[in-house]
Structures are given as C-alpha cells and as structure tokens.
Chains A and B, each alone.
Chain A
Amino acid sequence: SQQGEEDPQALSIQEGENATMNCSYKTSINNLQWYRQNSGRGLVHLILIRSNEREKHSGRLRVTLDTSKKSSSLLITASRAADTASYFCATPPAGGTSYGKLTFGQGTILTVHP
C-alpha cells in the first residue's frame, strides 16, 4: 500500500471550470500538503492543512481533510490555462516530527484548455 494516492490520475477541463483532485492516505498524519509541479520543473508548495483542520482556503484553492476517511481534496476554482500542471499530495511521517521526509502520491495531471 502507498501513502498518498491521488485520483483522478488525469483531469482535463475548460478554463473557468472547477477542478477537484482527491488524495487518500493510509496511516495517521499530523498534516497533509499539496504541491504543484509544472512540466519538468520544480515543486511548488501550495497549501498545508493540519490534522485538526477540516478546510482551508488560499486564493482560488480550497483544501479539505477528512481524517476519518483518510482523504483530502484540492479544489481549484475558476481554473486558468496557467493552472495546467501536476498536483501532488504529500504527508510527513505518522506521529513523527515536523521535519521528517515527505511521502508523495502519484499525482494528478491537470490540463486546463483555454
């Protein structure tokens, strides 16, 4: 089993539509993070949600966390062509320190058509 699995694997939408990506994980966490990766580029941190939070907003991003279902979702509202990228969820070690390794999911490839 793998920690952090996103679905769908690929998502194709039109500009202006909302995009929703989901992430499931296996073990308990103290936070979950979402990263974006433009094609062939580095990872950009988008948002971190703590285990005691259920929802968090940042601009056009909305992240939810359901610890009972061990799942999180990332919603991008009013998508733009520039949002085209791969999106990954990542979790630190269960019950560990804040400074441990991150475990990444396979990612969702989002394509936003102009």
Chain B
Amino acid sequence: EPEVTQTPSHQVTQMGQEVILRCVPISNHLYFYWYRQILGQKVEFLVSFYNNEISEKSEIFDDQFSVERPDGSNFTLKIRSTKLEDSAMYFCASLGLAFYNEQFFGPGTRLTVL
C-alpha cells in the first residue's frame, strides 16, 4: 500500500540553525501539506501546496518557513533560523484526486530545538 514517508524521524538542532524536513508524498498525488503538533497540543495546519505553488498558509507559516518541491518526488519544509518554539512533530500529508479529501499523513519528524 502506498504511503507518505518522512525523513529524518528525529532532528535535533541548535537555535538559529536552518533545518530541512523532507517528505516523499504518494506518487500521483497532487496536493501536499505540512502540519505540526507541539507536544500535548492539537495538530495545526502550516501550509498547502499545489501546482508548484503555495495555495494556503497559516499565521504560523511566516518568513522563516518555506516549502519546495525540488523534483517530482520530494516535498520539503525549510525553517531558516529555528527557535525554541519550533520544537514539535511535523507531519507531511498528501492528497490525490481519487480520494475525497482523505489526506494521507506521514509518520512525522520530531524536531527538537535546543
């Protein structure tokens, strides 16, 4: 069964450093998303991406964040200068036309900013 994969599973970084979280969505899916979940809190939407451009972003997704689909398979989330409050689980999701609004989520990357 196809699945969304994410790497790394856990990333530890120093405050101020840049991090890139990587996702491989399900092939032939067209819509891509990043969400995050701070420990003990609910899952929050960050950004959606379609047709090689951002289709929607939340207030959380400020200038420190960027997304890219550098090739036909990867979808990345970059945080330019990490803050302590960026520590969270980051989930990638993708959606295909065959499934009515069912977003398939990856296992997540746990980001720890020290």
- Of B42, B95, B106, B108, the residue contacting A99 (CB under 8 A) is B95
B42 touches A104 (CB 8 A): yes
Closest to B44 in A: A104
Q: Chain A residues with Cβ under 8 A from B93's Cβ?
A: 43
Q: Which residue of A lies closest to B89 (CB)?
A: A40
- Interface of chain B residues 44 through 58 with chain A (CB within 8 A): 44-45, 48, 50, 56, 58
Complex CA gap A39/B66 in Å reads 28
Query: Nearest CB to that of A91 among chain B residues?
Result: B101
The answer to whether B31 has its CB under 8 Å from any CB of chain A is yes
For chain A, which range describes its interface: under 10, 10 to 19, 20 to 34, or 35 or more residues? 20 to 34
B42 x A33 contact (CB < 8 A)? no
- Which B residues fall within an 8 A CB radius of A? 31, 33, 35, 41-45, 48, 50, 56, 58, 89, 91, 93, 95, 100-108, 110
Report Cα–Cα, A6/B20, bound state, in Å. Answer: 33
8 CB < 8 A contacts A-B: A42-B105, A43-B93, A45-B102, A48-B100, A98-B101, A100-B56, A101-B58, A102-B43
The chain B residue with its CB closest to the CB of A97 is: B101
A41 within 8 A of B: yes
B48 near A41 with CB under 8 A, answer: no
Alpha-carbon distance A56/B98, docked complex (angstroms): 20
Question: Could you tell me the distance between the alpha carbons of A2 and B100 in the complex, rounded to whole angstroms?
Answer: 24
Known contacts A41-B108, A42-B107; decide if A88 and B100 are in contact (CB<8 Å). no
